[in-house]
Amino acid sequence: MSGLAAPMIEMTDVTKRYGSARTVLDLFDLYVRKGEFVTLLGPSGCGKSTVLKLISGLTPPTTGTIRVDGMLPKNAREMTSYIFQDATLLPWRTVRQNVGLGLELEGVGKDRRGDKISSLLELVGLSEVAKAYPRQLSGGMKMRVSIARALATNPRLLLMDEPFAALDEISRDRLNEELLRLRAEQQWTAVFVTHSVSEAVFLSTRIVVLSPNPGRIHAVVPVQLRAERNPELRTAPEFDALVAQVSRTLRGALTS
Amino acid sequence: MRQRAITLANALGVFAALLLVWQLVLRIFRVPPYMLPSPWAVTKTVGARFPSLVSSFLITAEEAAGGLVVSIVVGVAVALVFAQSRWVRRMLYPWTLLLQTVPIVAVAPLILMWFGAGAPSVTLIAFIISLAPIIANTTQGLISVDENLVHLFLMHNASRSQILFKLRLPNSVPSLFVGIRIASGIAVIGAITGELYAGSSRVGEGGLGYSILYASSQLQTDYLFALVAAATVLGFGFLFLVMFLEWYFLHNWHESARTPEAE
């Protein structure tokens, strides 16, 4: 990939306090290059979700600076998509209308949305249920709709806040594989939040382990696994070894 | 289908039993007809005075429906203003409570004095009494939106009006219907109460409330019963209409409107 060194996210000395008492993040630095898949891993209360909210500009930092592709987070929203822990679909809209929401809000005309939505539904395997309403779908399918909606606006940066936490393991594994396939096709940069060590290892190019109270970076683990990440990788010895290493680091983050 | 037939048969059975008890009470205690007419006498009166019964029914239905529709339009508009900020709500919400607590029976004579007898005054009374539940429920629906959905809209640089009309307003529709269901019942009560005071601008012709007053003053107890039955039918009719609309608008997506077959 060209421009490997070009930064996508630069967070420098970022502190976030809610009110005057609780410090969520303390002097936090995060640097993500274009094309990376960075996972934030850590126990509850270490400020993982807050990092995503800061990068998206949904909440301002107390001190410190944040740049997304050189811009203020709010100005970078056009190139950023956010995937939430639950699918956050509009229940009164069909799958198709939900996928088209972002385009619609950004003022893309109805005729120009149509093809884009159809190809995305194809991509995530939802063409059959395009006219269904969210409540008729399983948890995994809802999440697929959410992913398709996020990709519809051609994001260069994808922020994902434990998107698969509520799913069973089989759906989660399948969606992990699909996510990597989509990334290979569309080449976005990702910041992903999870509790799951194996999910982090399977998806990431780099894992950032956070420690709680207040949130700080405890360790950074680069993930150097074979380029093609297929389901067989999950049973490979080097995968297990890395999962074990990251788990140890995570335990260290808790006791430090 | 079978289930429905059984439910219907049960309801009819209870109705028949009630008629039987009614008839027995008349026989055993020898109640004079001006105190309690027989079911048969009431049925005969319904037949004999059907045209005037229907015309009273329609007058009241129109007043109640008018009051309800205006209260929906005004209530939703007020709720949209309330949804703008907590500050606006704090300042104005107590006044809607006032609307709910003021006894309509006490206000009705004033309205009669200001606007005169007849349908407009009655419609106004039905409107006043059904407004508060619409405002309260719609406001609740507009402001209780999942925070992440708001964030999602913000991430797509949605404007304030896009958030209001594409997120908050559709989100409030189920609560709006809760409000309409409550309001539909009390709009009918409001219209009948209103008619007791401001029933008609012409003697002898008016809605159900007016006719109830008239029939009782003439000791036409059998017709009084027919009018009470008509008022009940009207209330039920409103409720069923609202429930049908609720089902029609919500059955695709909202839990409250699921059909039994889907469960």
Q: Is the pLDDT of residue A4 over 80?
A: no
Q: For position A150, what pLDDT does the model report? A: 94
CB contact under 8 A, A105 and B153: yes
- H-state helical runs in chain A: 48-55, 95-99, 101-105, 110-123, 139-152, 169-186, 197-203, 237-255
Query: The CATH number of the domain where B223 resides is what?
Result: 1.10.3720.10
Nearest by CB to A92, from B146, B156, B253: name it: B253
Q: Is the pLDDT of residue A1 over 60?
A: no
| pTM for the structure as a whole | 0.85
CB contact under 8 A, A84 and B148: yes
**A81 — contact with chain B (CB < 8 Å)?**
yes
Give contacts of A102 with chain B, Cβ < 8 Å.
156
Q: Taking residues A55-65, what's their average pLDDT?
A: 94
In a domain, B111, yes or no: yes
> B249 near B180, Cβ under 8 Å?
no
**B252 — contact with chain A (CB < 8 Å)?**
yes
**B176 — contact with chain A (CB < 8 Å)?**
no
Q: For position A227, what pLDDT does the model report? A: 66
Domain count, chain A: 1
- The 10s digit of each residue's pLDDT in A6-19 is 899 999 999 998 87
In a domain, B98, yes or no: yes
In a domain, B23, yes or no: no
In a domain, A102, yes or no: no
Measure the CA–CA gap between A132 and A126, rounded to whole angstroms. Answer: 10
Residue in chain A closest to B161 (alpha carbons) equals A105
Measure the CA–CA gap between B192 and B227, rounded to whole angstroms. Answer: 11
Residue range of the domain that includes B69: 49-262
In a domain, A41, yes or no: yes
Assembly ipTM: 0.90
Between helices B169-198 and B50-82, what is the axis angle to 10°? 140
Residue range of the domain that includes A208: 7-88+156-255
Buried/exposed code over A16-43 (b: 16+ C-beta within 10 A; e: otherwise): beeeeeebbbbebebebbbbbbbbbbbb
Query: The CATH number of the domain where A14 resides is what?
Result: 3.40.50.300
In a domain, B22, yes or no: no
Q: For position B232, what pLDDT does the model report? A: 93
In a domain, B19, yes or no: no
Residue in chain B closest to A103 (alpha carbons) equals B156
Nearest by CB to A58, from B151, B162, B252: name it: B151
In a domain, B1, yes or no: no
SS3 per-residue string spanning chain B: CHHHHHHHHHHHHHHHHHHHHHHHHHHHHCCCCCCCCCHHHHHHHHHHCHHHHHHHHHHHHHHHHHHHHHHHHHHHHHHHHHCCCHHHHHHHHHHHHHHHHCCHHHHHHHHHHHHCCCHHHHHHHHHHHHHHHHHHHHHHHHHCCCHHHHHHHHHCCCCHHHHHHHHHHHHHHHHHHHHHHHHHHHHHHHHHHHHHHHCCCECCECCHHHHHHHHHHCCCHHHHHHHHHHHHHHHHHHHHHHHHHHHHHHCCCCHHHCCHHHC
Q: For position A101, what pLDDT does the model report? A: 95
Domain count, chain B: 1
Nearest-neighbour CA in chain A from B2: distance (Å): 27
Q: For position B105, what pLDDT does the model report? A: 84
Nearest by CB to B154, from A58, A86, A90: name it: A58
In a domain, A118, yes or no: no
In a domain, A181, yes or no: yes
In a domain, A94, yes or no: no
In a domain, A93, yes or no: no
In a domain, A76, yes or no: yes
Residue in chain B closest to A83 (alpha carbons) equals B152
**B214 — contact with chain A (CB < 8 Å)?**
no
**Which segments of chain B have a pLDDT < 50?**
260-263
Per the model's pLDDT, the better-predicted residue between B8 and A226 turns out to be B8
CB contact under 8 A, A77 and B157: yes
Measure the CA–CA gap between B215 and B208, rounded to whole angstroms. Answer: 10
In a domain, A112, yes or no: no
- The 10s digit of each residue's pLDDT in B29-86 is 988 888 889 888 899 999 999 999 999 999 999 999 999 999 999 999 999 999 988 8
CB contact under 8 A, B155 and A81: yes
In a domain, B15, yes or no: no
Give contacts of A155 with chain B, Cβ < 8 Å.
none
In a domain, B112, yes or no: yes
